[in-house]
Chains A and B, each alone.
Chain A
Amino acid sequence: MKMDRRQQQKQDLKALSQSLFQTLDTDEHLTLAYSGEESLFIRVNKTTIRQISEVTQANLSLDFISGRHHTECTFSLSGDVVQDTKQALKIIEQCRLECKSLPEDPFLVLPEAGESSEEDHFGAFAPLEKLADILLKPAASLDLAGLYAAGTLMRASINSKGQFHWFSTDNFYFDYSLYTLSQKAIKSIYAGNEWKDEDYWKNLEQAKNQLKALDKTSKKLSPGKYRVYFAPAAVAEFSMAWSGLSEKALKEGRSPLKQLAEGETKLSPLLSLEEDFNQGLVPRFNEFGEVSPLKISLITQGKLMSTLVNRRTAQEYGIVSNGANGGEGTRSPRMLPGHLNESMILSSIGTGLYVSNLHYLNWSDLQQGRITGMTRYGCFWVENGEIVSPIQDMRFDETLYSFFGSNLEAIGDTVQLIPHTWSYWERSLGGNYVPGILVNDFSFTL
């Protein structure tokens, strides 16, 4: 999106919000959360275009408080500031009526005056008229499936105490997989803010080379415990463990990290995790307008240092918020690197598995931190420090207190960004910064 159009969006949002704030009575408060995108999606199957779509959409959430009563309403913005203001004013009337019928909210989060911020990241996309050729011609001899997504993402938080936070970024990703004739696959992603043909070609070439390793017959493994190296993309899947850092989840008995929080079990002293906003991939402000510290140490050398606490949880339990979002999830997590150099990965495995990706993880025993899931894409059997063959996909069932705890042997010395590619309702921001990990006695079950 061009700078002037983004400025226009900001101005429209400021104008709209002022029109709303002017209508508030003395005991009324309003916090607005804005989320918008202009996104182009190209879905690819067999190196052809299966579907192309573009969407321009934005939503405005009105968090309305009247006395001790509270309600929220989100609506689709049309982009016409006059029409949108009219609709928002109607919604405020509706919110007033709802508040009259609802009981008092015991844990109200009132908006606060504070500093405002504006952050814009500009990028450059491949030109639409050549895009199909740019994406597909270099892969014409391959069987490629994937999704190209590109455009501008915008977020804002504005409140009736005068606070205005704005974040926007241009970004793209081409999340794709390549297939052999026998339908074994390698997964890759090329992502960034500025499309460069040469970088894409390099990325594709690397994936092509990895595909060659899949030519051999796949080894069928028996269920049992194996020594495993998980590449960064696989470790990113294990990040579901960090949902347990939510203070509210801990209080409600739905955190897989309860044993860690209560000191019953430790994680490996090799493991450290931070919430790190220095990379600027996501806004530091949350939907309440709160700004998170630049860095929060969550787990240091296996010990829990801090949970994620939002203002509502803080109200309920009489503790201090640290700027977490409504769901108290990590927004910019970074696992700290260790000492395992890439050149030493295979020799460090010795005999075992190299797992590049995982699939469909879920909690099989939340209280014990046990996760089940599948291996996927290029995963290999390694013997005496050398790749022998790909493997047939295996189901695992293992507790995080083992693979992030007593059986964690080493952590890679390089941290890689695995961008979020979710696009349910809207495209996601951010990703996980993770290294690879080497784990002993990892349980495969089927």
Chain B
Amino acid sequence: MSQNLLQRLNKIHHKVDWLGLREVKEITRNYIARNGKIEKNTTNIDHGCMVEVLLNGHFAYCGAANMTDEALQKACDRATLLAQHTASWKTFPASLDHRPPSVGTYQTQTPFPLDKASPGEIMSLLINATIKMKVSDKIVNCIAHAMMIETEITLASSTGAHIHQQFSSLAPYLRATAQDGTEIQNRSVSPCHQGGLELLNQAELATEAERIGREAVELLTAEQCPTGVYDVILAPDQLYLQIHESIGHPLELDRILGDERNYAGWSFVQLSDFGHLQYGSSLLNIVFDPTVVGEYASYHFDDAGIPATREYLIKDGLLLRGIGGIDSQKRGNIPGVSSMRAQSWNRPPIDRMANINLEPGNSSFSEMIGSVERGIYMTTNTCWSIDDYRNKFQFGCEYAKLIENGKLTKTIKNPNYRGVTAPFWNNLKMVGDASTFEVWGNTYCGKGEPNQVIRVGHATPPCLFGNVDVFGGA
């Protein structure tokens, strides 16, 4: 990584109003074991620089993997040409206010950096986990995967911005498949956090591996999820995705402004809804919080160089603020958050979620279960789909328990539910307390044209929802 990006920027000859460089180096290591054997060991080293120029009120971008002075000059010249040829068709006029001269750093805190174990040591942990998963002859496939990502992002600009951020992340994934005749069931677990090798604890891996193996076998003989309208408690490893799809995406300002209409879609939320729309029940509190230590998408600055701060998006159920970076905020004349982020050096930044969290409430898990006469507790997402306005959704989970007279009873298979976003969140009846709060996230949130994936974090307690349309397998 170039430590002197600002000096290198100053060597570039240009006639633009503002020039920015964003250098990204990301090393991703994937270790995969399957059925007691090595499956794959891969490393990906992605390194390059995006040159961004502002000319005649229009941003243009040119990315190249060559980091020589000559290549950066060429990319700057090319970006300048792109801006010149298209500025008269720009969507909105931009100014220097869009790219402040921020200076700062960020580094993931970890006691055990990712490079402190050999591939063989990590593979051995994973192979062992697949062996632990095979609790029965009915387990037909076991996968253990660890993805380790080290990222360095450096920003420098002609107005003096200089930001250096270093991230270390780890995402293990375990999946057990059980089969009995034509019946096949899966259980999996896929946490993801910022941190180091402390997140790959041998004992925890083995315990989790055994648990999902047992539960996969248990599902083979479980009853089908019933069909009907029920109270439903969603575990954090399902609810995080419900938050992502039906709160995170519809609040993105670039969607509301129409940028995503041709791909991911629009939003039922309009600019005029902020400050007025009762998005959920009064128990619903959602924050944009890139300050949580260890959560997947924590950072100090976004890719426009805007300092990241914690902000309420929804307070007591009322919609307050959208997920939009400086460009969308100025276009929409509306407050937002520090959320302009790019997949890597090869894409321009767009409005993205960071950590979007549902704040804990006051109910213990046993209080929530105890309050339900007949309902379903669902855990671990397996299916997700939502319309292009983020209204009509359908989710499926791997594993569920029936709740009868305030107690968890039978295990049930193929649990699914569907609904419409605002009525669903307005049926939020209880929110788990701090003791039930869990941090999850997603490595591959897709959006944008050209397409981009990004890592997002979501933390939440389990929550109880009333009047949910539930159904089982085919």
Specify whether A and B are partners.
yes
Flag if B385 contacts A57 (CB, 8 Å): no
Flag if A364 contacts B383 (CB, 8 Å): yes
Q: Assuming A102-B41, A253-B177, is B46 touching A76 (CB within 8 A)?
A: yes
Say how far B327's CB is from chain A's closest CB, in angstroms: 9
Cα distance, A422 to B44, chains bound together (Å): 20
| New A-B contacts (13) at CB < 8 Å, excluding given A101-B121, A131-B85 | A54-B63, A55-B346, A56-B63, A78-B67, A102-B38, A102-B41, A102-B119, A106-B38, A132-B85, A177-B261, A252-B141, A376-B387, A424-B452
Q: Assuming A253-B184, A395-B387, is B46 touching A146 (CB within 8 A)?
A: no
Flag if B262 contacts A145 (CB, 8 Å): yes
Say how far A226's CB is from chain B's closest CB, in angstroms: 16
Flag if B127 contacts A103 (CB, 8 Å): yes
Cα distance, A392 to B128, chains bound together (Å): 51
Cα distance, A71 to B66, chains bound together (Å): 26
B120, CB-defined interface residue at 8 Å: yes
Q: Which residues of B contact A179 (CB under 8 A)?
A: 261
Main secondary structure of the interface of A (DSSP, over half): strand
12 contacts between A and B (CB under 8 A): A59-B46, A74-B42, A101-B118, A101-B120, A177-B262, A179-B261, A364-B383, A374-B385, A376-B388, A393-B388, A425-B343, A445-B418
Smallest CB-CB separation from B444: which chain A residue?
A: A424
Flag if B452 contacts A132 (CB, 8 Å): no
- Per-residue CB contact flags for chain B residues 212-225 toward chain A (1 = under 8 Å, else 0) read 00000000000000
Flag if B119 contacts A78 (CB, 8 Å): no
Interface residue total, chain B, C-beta cutoff 8 A = 87
- Per-residue CB contact flags for chain A residues 306-328 toward chain B (1 = under 8 Å, else 0) read 00000000000000000000000
Task: Tell me which of A46, A252, A361 contacts B385 (CB under 8 A).
Answer: A361
Residues facing A in B231-272 (CB within 8 A) are 257-259, 261-263, 265-266
Q: Which residues of A contact B64 (CB under 8 A)?
A: 55-57, 79
Cα distance, A131 to B81, chains bound together (Å): 12
Cα distance, A349 to B474, chains bound together (Å): 26
A294, CB-defined interface residue at 8 Å: no
B37, CB-defined interface residue at 8 Å: yes
Task: Tell me which of A103, A177, A187, A361 contacts B120 (CB under 8 A).
Answer: A103
A286, CB-defined interface residue at 8 Å: no
Say how far B260's CB is from chain A's closest CB, in angstroms: 8
- Per-residue CB contact flags for chain B residues 332-371 toward chain A (1 = under 8 Å, else 0) read 0000000000010011101000000000000000000000
Residues facing A in B454-474 (CB within 8 A) are 469, 473-474
Flag if B450 contacts A53 (CB, 8 Å): yes
Flag if A103 contacts B257 (CB, 8 Å): no
- Per-residue CB contact flags for chain A residues 134-176 toward chain B (1 = under 8 Å, else 0) read 0010000000011101000000000000000000000000011
Q: Assuming A50-B91, A51-B59, is B387 touching A41 (CB within 8 A)?
A: no
Flag if A45 contacts B451 (CB, 8 Å): no
A73, CB-defined interface residue at 8 Å: yes
Residues facing A in B26-47 (CB within 8 A) are 37-38, 40-47
Cα distance, A91 to B27, chains bound together (Å): 13
Flag if B383 contacts A254 (CB, 8 Å): no
Task: Tell me which of B127, B387, B450 contacts A393 (CB under 8 A).
Answer: B387
Flag if A43 contacts B347 (CB, 8 Å): no
- Per-residue CB contact flags for chain B residues 163-184 toward chain A (1 = under 8 Å, else 0) read 0000000000000010100111
Flag if A372 contacts B451 (CB, 8 Å): no
Smallest CB-CB separation from B418: which chain A residue?
A: A446
Flag if A397 contacts B446 (CB, 8 Å): no
Flag if B386 contacts A53 (CB, 8 Å): no
Say how far A297's CB is from chain B's closest CB, in angstroms: 26
Say how far B89's CB is from chain A's closest CB, in angstroms: 4
Q: Which residues of A contact B257 (CB under 8 A)?
A: 45
Task: Tell me which of B40, B63, B396 contacts A53 (CB under 8 A).
Answer: B63
Interface residue total, chain A, C-beta cutoff 8 A = 87
Say how far B395's CB is from chain A's closest CB, in angstroms: 9
B394, CB-defined interface residue at 8 Å: yes
Flag if B184 contacts A128 (CB, 8 Å): no
Cα distance, A44 to B44, chains bound together (Å): 32
Q: Which residues of A contact B411 (CB under 8 A)?
A: none
Flag if A72 contacts B385 (CB, 8 Å): no
Residues facing B in A96-145 (CB within 8 A) are 98, 100-106, 128-129, 131-132, 136, 145
Task: Tell me which of B86, B119, B182 contacts A49 (CB under 8 A).
Answer: B86
Q: Which residues of A contact B62 (CB under 8 A)?
A: 53-55
Flag if B45 contacts A362 (CB, 8 Å): no
Flag if A145 contacts B47 (CB, 8 Å): no
Q: Which residues of A contact B186 (CB under 8 A)?
A: 254
Cα distance, A335 to B473, chains bound together (Å): 29
Cα distance, A49 to B84, chains bound together (Å): 12
Cα distance, A365 to B395, chains bound together (Å): 11
Q: Assuming A53-B61, A368-B473, A395-B394, is B450 touching A41 (CB within 8 A)?
A: yes
A399, CB-defined interface residue at 8 Å: yes
Cα distance, A442 to B46, chains bound together (Å): 45
B410, CB-defined interface residue at 8 Å: no
Say how far A173's CB is from chain B's closest CB, in angstroms: 11
Say how far A362's CB is from chain B's closest CB, in angstroms: 5
Task: Tell me which of B43, B347, B392, B414 contacts A374 (CB under 8 A).
Answer: B392
